[in-house]
Amino acid sequence: MKKTIAFIGTILLILAAGVGSVKADEMKKATFAGGCFWCMQPEFTNIPGVSSVVSGYTGGTTKNPTYEQVSHGNTGHVEAIEVTYDPAKVKYNQLLEIFWQNIDPLDQYGQFCDKGEQYRAGIYYHDDEQKKAAEASKEKVAGMFKEPIATVIKPASEFYAAEDYHQDYNIKNKTRYKMYRFGCGRDARLDKLWSGKKLAD
């Protein structure tokens, strides 16, 4: 009897492990750049279906860049976030909607108070499906504004996680984060840009 129970337990563990591995294989990634990653990360963290959001750097040529290097603007990287999500629970189009409504799509020089190529807004697609969705969403956003849309759409490249102190910065440094966000005029500009506009059909 004990051997039977042990055998059944082993089988259940194997099946559970198998389900977990399949689930991991089904997860997808989305990469967005929207200026300071401190402000972009929390907008996606609590979305149902999103398992992780990592602040980091992408789009450049320097391997394993540091924050200091990227901040100087000579590595080609932008501050970005990498979102890992379950497409069965949250659609890529939903993530695109969140992205657009948290950036200034008209700014070609950076985002809000942060200027420079390292703060340029962009969508970095991981496959053709994401590319088509990104382009369609950009076209839709373009119809909402008179000015041209400055946000770029590029293929995803190597993503480097930022230093630990940048991860979940809004939680680790609540007061400083709030002061920075307010001082940067982010929310005031977002309200002016997106008030009354809806991306969802």
C-alpha distances in Å from residue 32, one per residue of 20, 75, 83, 92, 170: 27, 18, 8, 12, 18
Q: Give the 3-state secondary structure of residue 143.
A: coil
The one catalytic residue among 36, 39, 113, 184:
36
Q: How far apart are CA 92 and CA 186, in angstroms?
A: 24
Give the model confidence (pLDDT) of 149-175 as tens digits: 999 999 999 999 999 999 999 999 999
pLDDT at site 199:
86
Provide the phi-psi class of 160: left if phi over 0, else alpha when psi is between -120 and 50, else beta: beta
Domain 26-194: CATH architecture, name and number where available: 2-Layer Sandwich (3.30)
Residue type, 29: K
The stretches of 143-198 forming alpha helices (DSSP H) are 169-172, 174-183, 186-194
Local confidence pLDDT in tens for the 201 residues of the chain: 445 444 444 444 444 544 444 366 799 999 999 999 999 999 999 999 999 999 999 999 999 999 999 999 989 999 999 999 999 999 999 999 999 999 999 999 999 999 999 999 999 999 999 999 999 999 999 999 999 999 999 999 999 999 999 999 999 999 999 999 999 999 999 999 999 998 876
Which two structure tokens, joined as six digits, stand for 201?
Answer: 């059909």
Q: How far apart are CA 31 and CA 121, in angstroms?
A: 11
Cα-flanking dihedrals φ and ψ of residue 93, to 5°? -60, -35
pLDDT at site 25:
75
Query: Is 36 marked active-site?
Result: yes
pLDDT at site 14:
46
pLDDT at site 142:
98
Residue type, 121: A
